[in-house]
Amino acid sequence: MWIGLLWYFNFVQIPNMPKIPDEQKPAIGKVIAPAALFWFRWAALVTVISGLILAYLNGYVHQAMTLGIGSGGGKATAIGIGMWLGIIMAFNVWFVIWPNQKKALGIIEVEADVKAKSAKTAMLFSRTNTLLSLPMLLTMVIAQNLY
């Protein structure tokens, strides 16, 4: 759900906003985007927490979080890279994207210049997360095929 919403924002909503008539934009900014951002940030948190719990229950959380250093296992390194990328991405969602989106969407009232700057910051970090999602998913898939 998290990655799907990330890709929705970056490949559907953001590129199509200029095509939406001005009188219809409040529906996106006041209804659709806040709802999607709610699920986006909570899906990020649940993904990280459930991943850490799964790694703990399967006995590899320490090796993964230390990137397999000292254990010599490529599997721990690969899954660890994916886990760290996921943690970085979740941090971006909660502590950069969401605070800036609240300003950009008018949930928090700010001056017009702060609103524009916040929208740009949120978009840049969202694009960064989109780029990070590819190696994150790749390393997690690779880890399943290593010993």
DSSP one-letter string for 60-127: -HHHHHTTTTTTT-HHHHHHHHHHHHHHHHHHHIIIIIHHHHHHHTTSS---HHHHHHHHHHHHHHHH
| Position 22 in a domain | no
What is the pTM assigned to this prediction?
0.91
| Position 112 in a domain | yes
Band (11; pLDDT cuts 50, 70, 90)? very high
| 4: helix, strand or coil | helix
Does residue 54 carry a pLDDT above 80? Answer: yes
| CB-neighbour burial class of residue 79 (10 A; exposed 0-12, middle 13-18, buried 19+) | buried
Segments forming the whole domain that contains residue 81:
2-13+27-143
| Position 72 in a domain | yes
d(CA 121, CA 129): 12
What is the predicted pLDDT for the residue at 72? 66
Does residue 39 carry a pLDDT above 90? Answer: yes
| Position 132 in a domain | yes
Does residue 26 carry a pLDDT above 80? Answer: yes
d(CA 40, CA 36): 6
- The single-letter code of the amino acid at 61 is V
| Position 107 in a domain | yes
| Position 20 in a domain | no
Tally of structural domains, the chain: 1
Q: CA triplet 21, 26, 28: central angle to 5 degrees?
A: 85
